[in-house]
Homo-oligomer: A and B are copies of this chain.
């Protein structure tokens, strides 16, 4: 049982992390949309960017309601999240879509690991901030079709996804090292156990869309 003060720090860090992740995802997805050469691709990536921004706004509003300065809550995560994106620049739209699929799924995994440790209200905010992620099914569908049609692409995307998961776990490790509040959320077995679980789920997802991990 956590103290009220510790619950409030946890909430602040959790919402700050997710808000920073969503705002940054908006920027990178929008930039990927800008680089896309067809209107169709621009619009798919633009929609994903808009979804991320709307989720960011919800989280920001909840931080403000809690009396927390949203920028102060987000700032500790800016560098790690920025580095994840800097180190994973998609070469084309299909890599950009794979990145959305992989990164959003890992965020969801993290949430599953953390959900048991937070109060019901916090859980509701996080769930709401992930609600638009119904696009995961559509993305999986599209990536599976692309992989099935072209084995060389499937192999390239498999390698790309592995790089993404490695980069995500590396930055997650930095964040967990910096923020005891968040490290505490992933359970008694600690960060390594959660990483094992994330990797297992990632491998299973890659199989579902016919990418070799």
Contact = CB atoms under 8 A, between A and B. Distances in A.
A100 to B, nearest CB: 15
Q: Is the interface of A mostly helix, strand, loop or mixed?
A: helix
Interface residues of A, number: 24
Interface string A26-40: 111011011000011
Nearest to A23: B42
A97 interface: no
A171 interface: no
Contacts of A28: 34
A21 to B, nearest CB: 14
A138 interface: no
A27 B42 contact: yes
Contacts of A46: 23, 26-27, 53, 56
A103 interface: no
Contact of A27 (B33, B53, B54): B33
Interface string A6-40: 00000000000000000100111011011000011
A125 interface: no
A71 B34 contact: no
Nearest to A36: B27
B30 A49 contact: yes
29 contacts: A23-B43, A23-B46, A26-B30, A26-B33, A26-B46, A27-B30, A27-B33, A27-B34, A27-B42, A28-B34, A30-B30, A30-B31, A30-B33, A30-B34, A30-B49, A31-B31, A31-B34, A39-B70, A39-B71, A39-B74, A40-B71, A46-B53, A46-B56, A47-B53, A47-B57, A49-B49, A50-B50, A50-B53, A50-B54
